[in-house]
Amino acid sequence: MANLDRIVRLKAVLARAGLRRPTLHRKSGLGTFPRQGPISVHGAGWNESAINRRVADPAGLGKEPFQ
């Protein structure tokens, strides 16, 4: 079985990254925070591995788009 990346929702991302919602969306728009991706018609989430990389590298030197 393949090791699948979990999708995390907004509340979990905010708690893990230590950011507020406006800051997260501003950083995402600037490209310094991983972008969210669609998971359903009305839902979106982030790859857990991308959030973990961002928390480990808060300067954003290893920018990567949503995969």
Q: What is the pLDDT of residues 11-60, one digit of tens each?
A: 999 999 999 999 999 998 988 899 999 999 999 999 999 999 888 887 75
Q: Indicate the domain borders of the chain.
A: 7-56
| Residue whose C-alpha is closest to residue 53's, from 37, 32, 38, 39 | 32
pTM assigned to the model? 0.75
User: Would you say residue 1 has pLDDT above 50?
Assistant: no
Dmax (CA) of the chain: 38
Q: Where are the beta strands (DSSP E) in 3-67?
A: 7-8, 37-38, 44-47
| Residue whose C-alpha is closest to residue 58's, from 27, 25, 20 | 27
